[in-house]
Structure 1
């Protein structure tokens, strides 16, 4: 190999290129899912986005399909329903021969609870008797945040493996979006959500192990974000499907002194999707929050 050829390997398009790749992003209509969609589509990937609300998906395609190298294509689906996932697989198979990148981003928050009580009786009332702390609430949170990652990943294994087989030096990849809430020891006032994100992180490890043990060349990793603007953290989005968070709220609380930006997530998605030596890992992108709090 010549020195020039060696240098060429270090071009950005060779290190982080996704041009021509086929991707699927669940919950791609807003928040982190939309950030991931834009990062991939702007750089040449054909990105299918799913969600339960067709209007939201269509709005993303209308707004963000302009002046990009790739393409954004809406597909309505409910990834908490197994039959809907099966239908989604068939629909994608009818359009594409391969799937190179799957991002399991769809997620929900959960009701908050008062964890600051100091007596056994008061803590029991806050955690057990609270009507919002129901088994149905736990089921709903786990079904969306954990179970969807398992069933969507396993349903697309054949198409993902075809993506690996079709291209030399590329292995298809699954990226689960977890959270630093699944890493820290504090409940942050929502046990259901934090426990579900911890489960997502461990599910990623198990899937990575079992898929590799089966001889399949599909990489499974997860991104654990800190606070990024989304409908979950900001409670709403604007007419461009974007949410905002005030910077001053995070000064002194996070070493970065701000919430995450779209570009922070985009860079993380491109790195995780393209690094062929990354498998079974959790990529924490939180502005230094976990480091500074020592709350692991």
Structure 2
């Protein structure tokens, strides 16, 4: 039997005690995973890459347009989707038409998200039914007034823009109120439920998607200064929220989608009996490099990407058929 000195015994005990800590550090900093050490082809299947099955989502303005496109994209692929708006009839119609024979659910809730009390009630309602909120799509928005911006003189331009009786401080305030503050108040109100998404869904961070617009990126006013200014604010607000949430160590991602021209009640002025809007393809044949307006599946692709990509945070994804390329972006 080998005899050890007191020094050698102390050294052996020290090494033995350190082994669990060294193993823990190795596992923490290791760049390899079990999936990387073997054939992981299954992880590249579409149902894995864009998996929203069983996820809980809430979409504002889900009764038509881009909100409805997002609702279908998520619900058809297995998510439980709460759609929120002020017109209960529209929401009920969406659930009736698009909620049948799908993997997920569409659940309508009438609420006015321009009021903090209503948002608080909405949070409590979701909290009473769900353990968490996985996906929040802040989609509701408005555009009130358009203007003639082209002019041949300073006098004509001033008359077009300043003397327009529909262009008022109240109109600017109403546009901003709908398009910007609701993103802030909805996101901050739902933070606890969004954070809980990570606890109840392995390797899935709660995610917020703000519907901004390429109108907040391009340098042209597109004949509506107030709308474009509000959408630029929405994009910057997205960045600030993403930063502050990350700085506080929360597992919540915040991004925005910036659509180009898509059919909606805002761009087409109306919806049909199935809550869908239509824009003639030829109308944008010369205005967009893609030679057409956006289609439902174009937006559905983007929403699924934003919702499921766990490495995307603080970004604005433009889905515009190349419109920004032709119009040019601002600073």
Distance in 1 separating the partners of 2:170 and 2:224: 14
Work out which of the residue numbers 196, 203, 220 in structure 1 matches 2:254: 220
Q: Greater CA radius of gyration, 1 or 2?
A: 2
1:253 is aligned to: 287
Distance in 2 separating the partners of 1:48 and 1:191: 32
1:90 is aligned to: 124
Shift of 1:215: 0.8
Which structure 1 residue ranges, 4+ long, deviate > 4 Å from structure 2? Answer: 2-5
Structure 2: state its 5+ residue gaps: 1-33
Shift of 1:155: 0.4
2:85 is aligned to: 51
Distance in 2 separating the partners of 1:115 and 1:16: 43
Shift of 1:295: 4.5
Shift of 1:29: 0.1
Shift of 1:129: 2.1
Distance in 2 separating the partners of 1:124 and 1:293: 23
Shift of 1:256: 1.1
1:166 is aligned to: 200
Work out which of the residue numbers 250, 269, 275 in structure 1 matches 2:309: 275
Shift of 1:5: 4.5
Preserved CA contact (<8 Å) 2:257 2:316: yes
Q: What is the TM-score of this pair, normalised by structure 1?
A: 0.97
**SS of 1:174 mapped into structure 2:** strand
**SS of 1:129 mapped into structure 2:** coil
1:66 is aligned to: 100
Distance in 1 separating the partners of 2:150 and 2:291: 26
Q: What is the TM-score of this pair, normalised by structure 2?
A: 0.87
**SS of 1:50 mapped into structure 2:** strand
1:12 is aligned to: 46
* Higher mean C-alpha displacement, 68-77 vs 248-257: 248-257
Instruction: Say yes or no: does 1:25 pair with 2:47.
Output: no
1:266 is aligned to: 300
Distance in 1 separating the partners of 2:279 and 2:88: 26
Shift of 1:110: 2.2
**Number of positions where the alignment pairs a residue of Structure 1 with one of Structure 2:** 296
2:21 is aligned to: none
Distance in 1 separating the partners of 2:65 and 2:159: 34
Shift of 1:12: 1.0
Structure 1: state its 5+ residue gaps: none
Instruction: Say yes or no: does 1:156 pair with 2:185.
Output: no
Distance in 1 separating the partners of 2:186 and 2:329: 31
Shift of 1:293: 3.1
**SS of 1:97 mapped into structure 2:** coil
1:195 is aligned to: 229
Preserved CA contact (<8 Å) 2:219 2:328: no
Q: CA RMSD in A?
A: 1.1
Distance in 1 separating the partners of 2:326 and 2:156: 31
